[in-house]
Amino acid sequence: MRVLTGYIVKEILKGSLVALLLLLTLFNLFTFSDELGDLGGGYGLKQILYYLALTTPGIFCELVPASALLGSLFVLGAMGINRELIAMRAAGLSVFGIIKAVMLAGAVLVISSILVSEFVAPVTERMAKMVRLSAHNDQVLMNAKDGVWLREDKKFINIRKIVDDGNLADISIYELDDQQHLHQALHADQAVFMGNQQWSLKNTRTSEISIQKMGVSSQDNQLWKSSIAPNLLKIVVVNPNNLSLVDLVSYVNYLKKNHQKSHVFELALWGRIVNPLVTLVMLLLSAPFVIGVKRGVSVCERMMIGVVIGMGFNIIDKIVGHIGFIYDLSPPLMAFIPSLTILALALFALKRVQE
- Determine the pLDDT at residue 158: 86
C-alpha span between 149 and 156 (Å, rounded): 7
Q: Which residues pair with 214 in a beta bridge?
A: 209
C-alpha span between 84 and 74 (Å, rounded): 13
Instruction: List the one residue out of 331, 106, 140 whose CA is nearest residue 240.
Output: 331
Please tell me whether residues 271 and 222 are part of one structural domain: no
Strands (E), 196-321: 198-209, 214-225
| Domain range enclosing 191 | 140-227
Please tell me whether residues 71 and 105 are part of one structural domain: yes
In a domain, 135, yes or no: no
Contacts of 268 by beta carbon, 8 Å cutoff, 6+ apart:
240, 241, 243, 248
Contacts of 339 by beta carbon, 8 Å cutoff, 6+ apart:
274, 277, 278, 281
- Determine the pLDDT at residue 324: 85
Q: Is the pLDDT of residue 340 over 60?
A: yes
Q: Could you give the angle at which helices 331-354 and 263-286 cross, rounded to 10 degrees?
A: 10
Please tell me whether residues 149 and 102 are part of one structural domain: no
Please tell me whether residues 223 and 285 are part of one structural domain: no
| Range 98-131 burial, b when 16+ CB lie within 10 A, else e | bbebbbbbbeebbeebbebbbebbbebbbbbbbb
Backbone angles phi, psi at 329, to 5 degrees: -85, 170
Instruction: List the one residue out of 342, 156, 137, 160 whose CA is nearest residue 255.
Output: 160
C-alpha span between 40 and 46 (Å, rounded): 11
On average, the pLDDT of the chain sits at 82
Please tell me whether residues 120 and 246 are part of one structural domain: yes
pLDDT digit string, tens, across residues 35-74: 888 887 678 889 899 999 999 999 999 899 888 988 888 8
In a domain, 73, yes or no: yes
In a domain, 119, yes or no: yes
Residues in the chain: 355
Instruction: Output helix, strand, coil percentages for the chain, rounded to the nearest 5.
Output: 65, 20, 20
- Determine the pLDDT at residue 39: 81
- Determine the pLDDT at residue 94: 85
Please tell me whether residues 88 and 156 are part of one structural domain: no
In a domain, 236, yes or no: no
Higher-confidence position of 234 and 198: 198
In a domain, 183, yes or no: yes
Please tell me whether residues 160 and 202 are part of one structural domain: yes
Please tell me whether residues 211 and 286 are part of one structural domain: no
C-alpha span between 157 and 175 (Å, rounded): 9
Please tell me whether residues 264 and 214 are part of one structural domain: no
In a domain, 232, yes or no: no
Please tell me whether residues 203 and 301 are part of one structural domain: no
Q: How confident is the model at residue 148 (pLDDT cuts 50, 70, 90)?
A: confident
Decide which of 181, 200, 227 is a domain's last residue.
227
Segment (H or E) for 147:
strand 147-152
Most confident of 77-86, 140-149, 167-176, 285-294: 167-176
Decide which of 185, 204, 227 is a domain's last residue.
227
- Determine the pLDDT at residue 296: 46
Higher-confidence position of 266 and 139: 266
Residues of the chain with pLDDT > 90: what percent? 25
Please tell me whether residues 329 and 254 are part of one structural domain: yes
Q: ∠ CA(315), CA(14), CA(338), 5° rounding? A: 20
Q: Is the pLDDT of residue 232 over 70?
A: no
pLDDT digit string, tens, across residues 96-107: 898 899 999 999
Q: Is the pLDDT of residue 293 over 70?
A: no
What is residue 93's DSSP assignment?
A: -
In a domain, 47, yes or no: yes
Q: How many domains does the chain fold into? A: 2
Decide which of 163, 194, 227 is a domain's last residue.
227
In a domain, 233, yes or no: no
Please tell me whether residues 177 and 83 are part of one structural domain: no
